[in-house]
Chain A
């Protein structure tokens, strides 16, 4: 299949207008010695029907789980039907970045609405139009803090998602900044005393996550106070965005930046992407933050309209002096998030409560198993860590039953032997959870 509409006659006529004897002539600038006549290893074309058959066969090689018990940065939630219908409108999905505002009012207004909802949810005043994912949003926030303060050290809690810390490490290394990791205590929260000891005037930012990777809710206010007392800024992440339906957001407890993964809001798990990085901040950072911003203004007749604004922060204007190199973001995923949040409205609170009920039920079920115990004492949202006699055996049993088991924390935390991180969302039924306990026992 190809999608070129030209007939041989069209091509002939166009060549005549150009004055080219052949298509080949148009490629004369490519030195002959570098020309190729075929594409090595690239298969022949397929009809649409054959293409679908091929791709269905590949998809069928995946084993679709009946139950997913892992969160760890990606969360299986129910997506209301309206979300797919809206983002499936070609006016949205086949458009580019809204550089021409007059014919892009649809996405510009939708992004403005998304920004508003995100700022409210995160307890901040402003949010951008999205970053690549939660991890890169966190890393860019840290780099920004270091640049603004001329300080070179980032302090990050070990209770932050391990992959997020790795991305933070990569970005920091590239910019010449260093990372110091802070231990967690028996509660599963950041060790505040250790943080206070580590803080000095070389620290640009403190990075935490709440709920953190262990599912535990952090005490944000004292962390913010400690950071600010030392002239550092606080970057707070979160795990599952739906937690914001019930939990006090970090922005309301003194965080300067709230960054995190927005996948939970209407985007499928998709084997890891595309997701969307939420990036929200205090208003005073408006002119420094990375990424696109939709802003309200008026047209020459005084009608309300929307544009991409404060573009002098961005790479296409400022080049090497830009606050970030980001260009494309995750606009369609942000649109999905906006539709999802507008669809749920206050029911996001109900949904979060349901996640907590399910989580407590699963946890209590598992704690009845011989030799299972809680690892951390802090309150959790929808993830929790349990120590068990043999973590690997548990996950093997679940796998055999067609389930994606829990996340094995020992991979990233060698001290957490036989410790599994479970996640329960509204997608797990009571029967599922009863069966999980049965399979394990």
Chain B
């Protein structure tokens, strides 16, 4: 497809500017010619061509509304339309963040209630809604851990991260000056308790644990894990990426987590928009409340108001208050599902993952064969050994069957990993046809491996040369 620059023609525009109702003035005189830009080389296209360009681009993109999207760890559930309508209400979109609190009564009430609802669902003392995404929430959480020890006058420079963890965990630890230490998994896919015990010293600030972990398995020894970490004065950090697995079943606060970040764009169904905006609220136990980012909402003269008067705070992690409009969508979702709906979402998500696990078990290696939570992780090892077809090949072939591929090659501890998260919003028919496709591809890998390796065959472009893209980077178009 042509680039927007390639369809540009001087003299066209898709947006006009009103005539000025105040006197036009000589800009050079007002701001000085030396501050003026020399050229403005933006595309010049008519509205109809602009709309066709982006509409045609959209047709080269796959979203949940087009089909099943079992991308493990990403919780690609259906995004209810009512949430979009609500978030588009002018009362939510149109208010400036520096508006006096009197203008923002509804917004403040919504945010306070959201903090309260999340605290109840997850068993935490309080929440901040400021972080813009999950990884931003992680960073915020780790900063609070750092501040906690700074305040206590303890110098702890290590952070434990399981080998199965998301890459954001060690990266967040490192961005707060911690040296990260890798904690091994045991043969059951859980934390290796002996290893944890040997690593957990008074130099360790905490353990960043995802529960259920990235294998989709619940940490059965969570009580012991928490006891070991807390026993040495450390804090237990929870990566809430997998929170869709336990709504209404258990609460991280009760399990001993001191801090947990959520991904509203996963668990609470706000659409992911091709990579954002997300929202990454962070919940804390009582001992970390003082370190929450500012500003926070307080009661002042019986109404809600913003306050930055918290001396122990880590400070701000972004401007203003968070991805407010995303929070509106998640709040709408929580209120519409209610306690019963959220619990049912978790139950059906776990049922669906176990169903897929059972149906695909005969055809793919299952490294940890036990009841899973919201996702299941297979290995493509058998296919590699039998026919040289890799997980990446099978993932590409799935595209031809009309599916978005699962997450692949993650977690790192499973070779040729295939991580499938169906979510609760998919019907049995969808799961069955997906499993049939996976089984057909496993068969095809044996019988016609070439075809699988050539996939995808149905897309506007075939497999792209990523090596070339990295070796000769072209990230901005240049007029030739």
Contacts and interface: CB of A to CB of B under 8 A. Distances in A.
A331 B249 contact: no
Max chain A CB contacts within 10 Å: which of B1, B263, B343, B469?
B469
Contacts of A76: 96
B272 to A, nearest CB: 5
B383 to A, nearest CB: 19
B15 A45 contact: no
Interface in B90-118: 90-100, 102-107, 109-110, 116-117
Nearest to B104: A62
B385 interface: no
B379 interface: no
Contacts of A112: 3, 475-477
Interface centre among A5, A110, A270, A399, by most chain B C-beta atoms within 10 angstroms, is A270
B64 interface: yes
B164 interface: no
A18 B355 contact: yes
B286 interface: no
Given A247-B35, A317-B167, A331-B275, A399 B345 contact: no
Nearest to A169: B315
A371 interface: no
Contacts of B116: 41
Contacts of A326: 133, 135-136
Contacts of B25: 356-357, 360
Given A17-B358, A93-B271, A342-B50, A2 B345 contact: yes
A42 B94 contact: no
Interface string A33-64: 11110111111111010011011101111111
Nearest to A38: B339
**Chain B interface residue number, banded:** 35 or more
Interface stretch (A180-188, A197-205, A227-235, A290-298): A290-298
Q: Which of B99, B142, B473 has the most CB of A within 10 A?
A: B99
A435 B48 CA distance: 38
A269 B95 contact: yes
B74 A46 contact: no
A249 B399 CA distance: 43
Interface in A286-334: 286, 292-301, 303, 305-307, 309-312, 314-322, 324-333
Interface stretch (B194-202, B217-225, B227-235): B217-225
A381 interface: yes
A340 B43 CA distance: 11
Interface string A10-30: 110111011110010111111
Given A105-B61, A309-B470, A39 B342 contact: yes
Contacts of B210: none
B240 interface: no
Contacts of B44: 345-346
Contacts of A433: 22
Given A65-B95, A297-B465, A319-B171, A34 B250 contact: yes
B440 interface: no
B176 A102 contact: no
Contacts of A268: 93-94, 325
Given A5-B426, A269-B97, A345-B14, A136 B274 contact: no
Range for the number of chain A residues in contact with chain B: 35 or more
Contact of A106 (B57, B92, B321): B57
Interface in B18-72: 18, 20-25, 27, 30-32, 34-38, 40-45, 47, 50-51, 53-55, 57-66, 69, 71
A42 B171 CA distance: 34
A226 interface: no
A115 B404 CA distance: 26
B315 A245 contact: no
A414 interface: no
A137 to B, nearest CB: 10
A136 to B, nearest CB: 5
A43 B275 CA distance: 31
B222 A301 contact: no
A40 B107 contact: no
B367 interface: no
A296 B61 contact: no
Contacts of A97: 272, 274-275
A192 interface: no
A283 B273 CA distance: 28
A156 to B, nearest CB: 14
Contact of A174 (B177, B405, B426): B177
Interface string A170-193: 110111100000000000000000
B167 A316 contact: yes
Contacts of B105: 61-63
Given A26-B351, A121-B42, 13 more contacts: A42-B338, A59-B106, A62-B106, A85-B51, A90-B63, A97-B272, A113-B4, A116-B5, A174-B139, A217-B32, A270-B95, A294-B475, A309-B469
25 contacts: A5-B426, A26-B351, A35-B249, A39-B343, A41-B120, A43-B338, A61-B109, A74-B320, A86-B54, A102-B461, A107-B274, A169-B315, A248-B38, A270-B92, A270-B324, A271-B321, A274-B326, A297-B468, A297-B474, A300-B462, A300-B463, A325-B168, A343-B14, A381-B31, A399-B102
A-B interface, 4 closest residue pairs, ranked by CB to CB distance from nearest: A272-B320, A59-B91, A332-B273, A45-B338
